[in-house]
A and B are shown apart, each in its own frame.
Chain A
Amino acid sequence: MPPKGSSRKVATIGLTGTSSGAPPAAKKPRTGAPWISGAPPRAGEKDVPEGAPNCLRGLVFCLTGVLESLYRDEAANLCKQYGARVVSALSRNVTHALMGDEPGKAKLVKLEELRAAGKAPAVIDEDGLFELLRTRPGDGPRPGAEPPVAAPAVGMDEGADEEDAVPVPRRKAAATAAVAPIARPSPPAPRPPGAAGNSELWVDKYRPQTMKDLVANPKLAKDLEAWLSGWSAARATERLARAARGGGPAKRGAPKPPENAARAALLAGPPGIGKTSMAHVVARTCGYEPHEMNASDTRNKAAIAGTVADIVLIMDEVDGMSGGDRGGMQELIKVIAATQVPIICICNDDQAQKVRTLANHCYKLKFRRPMVAQARSRLMEIAMREGYRHIDPQTAEKLAESCHGDIRAMINLLQTWRSTSETLSFTDVTERMKAEGKTRTERSPFELFKEFFDGRSGRSVNDRLDDFFLDSDLMPLFVQENYPNASGAAGRPHLLAAAADSISEGDLVNQIVRSEQRWDLMPASGILSAIRPGAMVSGYIGARPAFPAWLGKYSTERKNVRLVKELEMRCKAGTRCSQSARAFRLDYVPALTAAVVRPLTALGAAGIATSVAVLDAYYMNREDVEALVGLCIHAKGNSPMDEVDAKVKTALTRAYTAGDHARSTVSAAHFGVKAVGAAAKPTPVAATAAEVVVDDAEEAAASSDADSSDADDAAAAKQFIKGGGAKGARLKGGKAKAKRK
């Protein structure tokens, strides 16, 4: 349970991070999530006793069920704060099972098993925990010792002092014994306390030197090593293959070379987790000399093409190539195609548009953030060697979690704090992380917006506003997309309505901000559109929050609104009387669609002539049929065009292209709509009135029952006639139409 439990709990106090390192199963929501039901019945009502420092050291806790007054994460933090380890599953190592109401079934079963084996932990409740805190002396027995017996509180401060005075080396040995250590060759002697004033950055000082030093992604390191050591061999194979097919390019359908035979490798992953370090280490291990180019070097075409040497070229931060590095990416790809040296490219996001092309030419290695446990031991090691007087595994773990796997950030923080203090405790880390606000910046909006729905995190409005401002465009959208899914909304329509109302008000404020540049109103916009609705329906948001659909929907809307305008303009010549785009959409689009499509569905091929005539009357072309149908709302797979036989559709296209057609001068491009198909460039041919009146064959008939205005109507309708063929001098639109039939 704690992989889930702890990661989620951590999230609630503003620190996520284990999610990437934890096994995937940890992300699944629990059934009957304690998150919802897990509010302790007497939350916050009991005073938590203050224990002696590290009074729970050596104990291993496992939590289950709903406690009386503490949230589970509070309880877990409490245990960690006093030096205990908190684990997710019951095992024989667990010394105490902290059990509340409704404990997990699996845990109960396991407990029975352990009992049968005689290894059962002491089962305590919340009061039992408090009792332990009150009574245990500071710095208890080492792991594996007897569960504690109540000891008098007298002298516990003394005991703690004594323990603190233990020389550092001994402490280090003890600490590293508790966690899996990474052995470093010949560790330098620990510095005496207070000797932290070295100008060298710890991140450089403790940069991994050998494969063993690498904290994260051991498998990737092996893969990279295999790729690099096999590089020359792969080139030889390539040459052979090329020679075998006579020097030509690889044939289509030929078996692809294995992925790791690529000439370049691409390391992708979040910052600070040791990509560059790994590249250097692996290069040296394989006997290459790394040569690094990063964003601080110019990487334009000339610079990249000019690099030649028998080395490994490490192109760091390739996603930072831009601006002055114009053409750099294409050149890099060219260089990769012909390179005689291995190239290792490094980037943060291999899905970025810029990098994606490059990625196709590379052996891709995707880095994961190191797991908390991996980073922890490394941190403790560094801390000890840099003269921190005391640091325990829980503290290191907390630090690792807070930095979201960024080892560089962890070490930097350690170094910064070292200048002010020689000790670092669990609470110190929590406090300092809070003060530096370091934790939130790295988190994605996907995670972050959930905080708005977290009613019990105790975060102030200002804290939440800080969250909002991390992405003031996306946050309200995330909230708007997901608020109906919040557990607080279920069965409470009035809260749902209130939240919706607030979001609606937020949009008004946001509009004022944008249109009048009233940026001072941004906080109000944030409160109304994210913080307030979140608080109203606070509760558990599903494990997979939806990405705001609004973005895509809005773009469709804009596209179709422009399409309507375009069609309306085009049809204006036909309708004689311009109506608004609204009326066109609401009334004309359904009617026109019916008028064009119905002959096809009802009569099949025989209806084509009628359909084309309608299209011509409204100066529309073949593509507009699809546009019209697309503008109508119909259920998926229920489009009126679906009923039209495919043969009839092709016949329609043929019939349309065969004839001459009137075209309006207004083209799609005017409305920002991408033109469909290759429409002939429309040219306005303004027929003079005299010609149209004279040549209109139907005029004679028309004039018998109407006044001359009918002829003029016809004239208006034929204003924008253009001969479809090469007969540019055509003036007689009426004839053109007749010929088409």
Chain B
Amino acid sequence: MASGGGGSSSLLWVDKHRPTTLSRLTLHPDLTPRLRRLASGGDLPHLLFYGPAGGGKRTRILALLRELYGPGVERTKIEHRVLKVGTPPRAAEVTTVSSAYHIEVNASDAGPTADRLVTQQLVKEIASSSPLSTLVPTGGSGGGGGGGEGAPAGGRPPFKVIVLLDADLLSRGAQAALRRTMERYTRTCRLVLVADSVTKVAAPLRSRCLGLRVPAATPTAVGELLAGVARREGVALPAAVAADLVTAAGGNARRAVLGLEVAAAAAAATGTPLAPRHVVRADWQVAADEAAAQMVRAQSPDSLLAVRAKLYDLLGHAVPADVVLRRLVAELLGRVDQEHAPAICLWAARFDHRLATGAKAVVHLEAFAARFMAIYKQFLTEQAAMCDS
């Protein structure tokens, strides 16, 4: 199995074949030169990477960091920090991944009330001290070992980088708290925000950052990516399977590669060549599809209760509610007549908004299901009446 080049053959393919340098990036070829220019300029603006999941945002950020600081940036440590702030002290917990040059924080982990404390305190604390690397002469034996030879020729930039993950999940308060920090500590640090949706990032933050859109990968690009992985892993990838995987992933490169590995493993287990039947849906996709099927099958209180059970199942297994809604909509649109599409989308949008502002996810998902059932039932009744007359 370990025919590939990676050091750890037991890693999933998606990690094993993940590009770590700008030169190895294959998706989004137009974006790579821009990143290289940014890295070579010596200075860096605050950045905002945005785009759908699986498009390669974080891969690009790490490659950019490596370009800036050399391989030392990959020597990371994970820390769990408990911050006590305010009077009376409130505890906010957050896990960070850091190297000598950068730190990754997911402030939204702390929860919607405490994330403000994290952005206020932790980010400020990191930002307000100069990076160690500026004190050490660059090049030569600096940097404490193996990273030295890979360091950029122009020396390391005199600032640290704070990668703020899931910036779109931060509460308004937390985002507001970032504004001053971003302006105040520009001498010592740069912020790199990562967001799936740019619309959830507050406008003042957006205006302080250079926005870099990392779109979903095109089907062709995902196809090439899969072909590359399959070649390196020595797996024969029929075009039909590749096409299925690409469709199922919908521009999410990570999902495509993981899907390829699961399918290949399934094929290997049965000793048959990889075929479309080995491409399976993920557990949560199956469950959501069943819920959608139930909604189309019967429109009654009992049916609604059955759907509710499925929804609880999904949410209880930590599947995000908006993902459930999205999947339901996609599945419903595939199952019912296109004349219902506008209504379905309208209500889905409405309940998507409520999911974002409300607290009990199941209530909103169920309301969507009930609404669809009402619409669909009326349609069925009218159709039956038309057939009768």
Interface contact A503-B15, CB-CB below 8 Å: no
User: A666–B149 Cα gap in the complex (Å)?
Assistant: 31
Tell me if B342 is interfacial: C-beta within 8 Å of chain A. no
Interface contact B166-A501, CB-CB below 8 Å: no
Interface contact B106-A580, CB-CB below 8 Å: yes
Q: Tell me which residues from 82 to 125 in chain B have a Cβ below 8 Å from any Cβ of chain A.
A: 93, 95, 97, 104, 106, 109, 112
Interface contact B367-A501, CB-CB below 8 Å: yes
Chain B residues positioned under 8 Å from A578 (CB to CB)? 58, 97, 104, 106, 165
Tell me if A382 is interfacial: C-beta within 8 Å of chain B. no
Interface contact A686-B77, CB-CB below 8 Å: yes
Query: A595's closest neighbor in chain B, by CB?
Result: B12
Interface centre among B7, B21, B109, B374 (most CB of A within 10 A): B7
Interface contact B6-A689, CB-CB below 8 Å: no
Interface contact B269-A602, CB-CB below 8 Å: yes
Tell me if A196 is interfacial: C-beta within 8 Å of chain B. no
Which listed residue (B21, B304, B318) contacts A561, Cβ 8 A?
B318
Tell me if B140 is interfacial: C-beta within 8 Å of chain A. no
Chain B residues positioned under 8 Å from A647 (CB to CB)? none
Pick out which of these stretches binds chain A: B25-33, B235-243, B355-363. Answer: B355-363
Chain A residues positioned under 8 Å from B54 (CB to CB)? 583, 587
Tell me if B79 is interfacial: C-beta within 8 Å of chain A. yes
User: A707–B150 Cα gap in the complex (Å)?
Assistant: 10
Which listed residue (B150, B261, B318, B351) contacts A595, Cβ 8 A?
B261
Chain A residues positioned under 8 Å from B370 (CB to CB)? 493, 496-497, 499-501
Tell me if A101 is interfacial: C-beta within 8 Å of chain B. no
Pick out which of these stretches binds chain A: B154-162, B218-226, B281-289. Answer: B281-289
User: A542–B242 Cα gap in the complex (Å)?
Assistant: 52
User: A711–B5 Cα gap in the complex (Å)?
Assistant: 11
Interface contact B374-A577, CB-CB below 8 Å: no
Interface contact A585-B74, CB-CB below 8 Å: no
Q: Tell me which residues from 549 to 591 in chain A have a Cβ below 8 Å from any Cβ of chain B.
A: 549-550, 553-554, 556-557, 560-561, 563-565, 569, 572-583, 585-588, 590-591
Which listed residue (B53, B145, B261) contacts A582, Cβ 8 A?
B53
Pick out which of these stretches binds chain A: B130-138, B207-215, B250-258. Answer: B250-258
- A494-B374, A632-B283, A688-B145 as given contacts; A702 in contact with B18, CB under 8 Å: no
Nearest Cβ in chain A — how far from B282, in angstroms? 4
Nearest Cβ in chain A — how far from B15, in angstroms? 5
Q: Tell me which residues from 257 to 312 in chain B have a Cβ below 8 Å from any Cβ of chain A.
A: 258-259, 261-262, 265-266, 268-269, 282-284, 286-287, 299-302, 304-305, 308, 312
Chain B residues positioned under 8 Å from A714 (CB to CB)? 7-8
Indicate with 1 or 0, residue by residue over A697-738, a CB within 8 angstroms of chain B CB atoms: 011001001111111111111011000000000000000000
Chain A residues positioned under 8 Å from B318 (CB to CB)? 557, 560-561, 563-564, 585, 631
Interface contact A689-B147, CB-CB below 8 Å: yes
Indicate with 1 or 0, residue by residue over B365-376, a CB within 8 angstroms of chain A CB atoms: 011011101100
Interface contact B286-A633, CB-CB below 8 Å: yes
Tell me if B231 is interfacial: C-beta within 8 Å of chain A. no
Query: A570's closest neighbor in chain B, by CB?
Result: B78
Q: Tell me which residues from 239 to 276 in chain A have a Cβ below 8 Å from any Cβ of chain B.
A: none
Which listed residue (A549, A581, A631, A670) contacts B93, Cβ 8 A?
A670
Chain A residues positioned under 8 Å from B59 (CB to CB)? 577
Interface centre among A491, A686, A712 (most CB of B within 10 A): A712
Interface contact A712-B258, CB-CB below 8 Å: no
User: A693–B7 Cα gap in the complex (Å)?
Assistant: 11
Interface contact A696-B7, CB-CB below 8 Å: yes
User: A486–B305 Cα gap in the complex (Å)?
Assistant: 12
Interface residue count for A (Cβ, 8 Å)?
A: 99
Nearest Cβ in chain B — how far from A714, in angstroms? 3
Chain B residues positioned under 8 Å from A322 (CB to CB)? none
Interface centre among A564, A696, A711, A713 (most CB of B within 10 A): A713
Pick out which of these stretches binds chain B: A41-49, A56-64, A217-225, A504-512. Answer: A504-512
Nearest Cβ in chain A — how far from B229, in angstroms? 13
Chain A residues positioned under 8 Å from B299 (CB to CB)? 493
Query: B317's closest neighbor in chain A, by CB?
Result: A633
Interface contact B254-A688, CB-CB below 8 Å: no
Indicate with 1 or 0, residue by residue over A494-536, a CB within 8 angstroms of chain B CB atoms: 1011011101110110110011000000000000000000000
Nearest Cβ in chain B — how far from A681, in angstroms? 13
- A489-B301, A576-B18 as given contacts; A633 in contact with B287, CB under 8 Å: yes
Interface residue count for B (Cβ, 8 Å)?
A: 95
Tell me if B72 is interfacial: C-beta within 8 Å of chain A. yes
Interface contact A617-B10, CB-CB below 8 Å: yes
Chain B residues positioned under 8 Å from A585 (CB to CB)? 284, 318-320
Interface contact B77-A665, CB-CB below 8 Å: yes
Nearest Cβ in chain B — how far from A127, in angstroms? 39
Nearest Cβ in chain A — how far from B260, in angstroms? 10
Nearest Cβ in chain A — how far from B374, in angstroms? 4
- A598-B265, A688-B145 as given contacts; A500 in contact with B371, CB under 8 Å: yes
Interface contact B18-A577, CB-CB below 8 Å: yes
Tell me if B129 is interfacial: C-beta within 8 Å of chain A. no
Chain A residues positioned under 8 Å from B284 (CB to CB)? 585-586, 590, 633
Interface contact A713-B359, CB-CB below 8 Å: no
Interface contact A710-B301, CB-CB below 8 Å: no
Interface centre among B75, B145, B149 (most CB of A within 10 A): B75
User: A162–B363 Cα gap in the complex (Å)?
Assistant: 64
Nearest Cβ in chain B — how far from A84, in angstroms? 40
Tell me if B313 is interfacial: C-beta within 8 Å of chain A. yes
Query: B269's closest neighbor in chain A, by CB?
Result: A602
Which listed residue (B20, B72, B301) contacts A576, Cβ 8 A?
B20
Tell me if A7 is interfacial: C-beta within 8 Å of chain B. no
Which listed residue (B7, B62, B76, B377) contacts A493, Cβ 8 A?
B377
Interface contact B262-A590, CB-CB below 8 Å: yes
Interface contact A689-B262, CB-CB below 8 Å: no
Chain A residues positioned under 8 Å from B9 (CB to CB)? 613
- A569-B95, A715-B74 as given contacts; A511 in contact with B20, CB under 8 Å: no
- A497-B373, A511-B357, A702-B7 as given contacts; A712 in contact with B150, CB under 8 Å: yes
Tell me if A485 is interfacial: C-beta within 8 Å of chain B. yes
Interface contact B6-A710, CB-CB below 8 Å: yes
Tell me if A190 is interfacial: C-beta within 8 Å of chain B. no
Chain B residues positioned under 8 Å from A576 (CB to CB)? 15, 18, 20, 62, 74
User: A557–B377 Cα gap in the complex (Å)?
Assistant: 32
Query: B359's closest neighbor in chain A, by CB?
Result: A511
Chain B residues positioned under 8 Å from A716 (CB to CB)? 74-76
Interface contact A690-B145, CB-CB below 8 Å: yes
User: A480–B361 Cα gap in the complex (Å)?
Assistant: 12
Chain A residues positioned under 8 Å from B378 (CB to CB)? 493-494
Tell me if A401 is interfacial: C-beta within 8 Å of chain B. no
Tell me if B336 is interfacial: C-beta within 8 Å of chain A. no
User: A480–B266 Cα gap in the complex (Å)?
Assistant: 42
Tell me if A114 is interfacial: C-beta within 8 Å of chain B. no
User: A705–B232 Cα gap in the complex (Å)?
Assistant: 12
Interface contact B80-A666, CB-CB below 8 Å: yes
Nearest Cβ in chain A — how far from B99, in angstroms? 9
- A489-B301, A586-B323, A631-B318 as given contacts; A501 in contact with B371, CB under 8 Å: yes
User: A560–B80 Cα gap in the complex (Å)?
Assistant: 19
Tell me if B11 is interfacial: C-beta within 8 Å of chain A. yes
Query: A632's closest neighbor in chain B, by CB?
Result: B283
Interface contact B367-A504, CB-CB below 8 Å: yes
- A577-B62, A580-B166, A713-B7 as given contacts; A587 in contact with B282, CB under 8 Å: yes
Chain A residues positioned under 8 Å from B74 (CB to CB)? 576, 712-713, 715-716
Tell me if A394 is interfacial: C-beta within 8 Å of chain B. no
* New A-B pairs, 10, CB < 8 Å, besides A508-B358, A712-B20: A496-B374, A500-B370, A500-B371, A504-B351, A505-B354, A564-B318, A576-B18, A587-B255, A595-B262, A709-B21
> Which 3 A-B pairs have CB atoms at the shortest separation, nearest pair first?
A714-B7, A689-B146, A613-B10
Chosen A-B contacts, 11 in total, with CB atoms closer than 8 Å, are: A507-B364, A574-B15, A579-B58, A590-B282, A591-B258, A613-B10, A614-B12, A665-B79, A696-B7, A705-B5, A709-B66
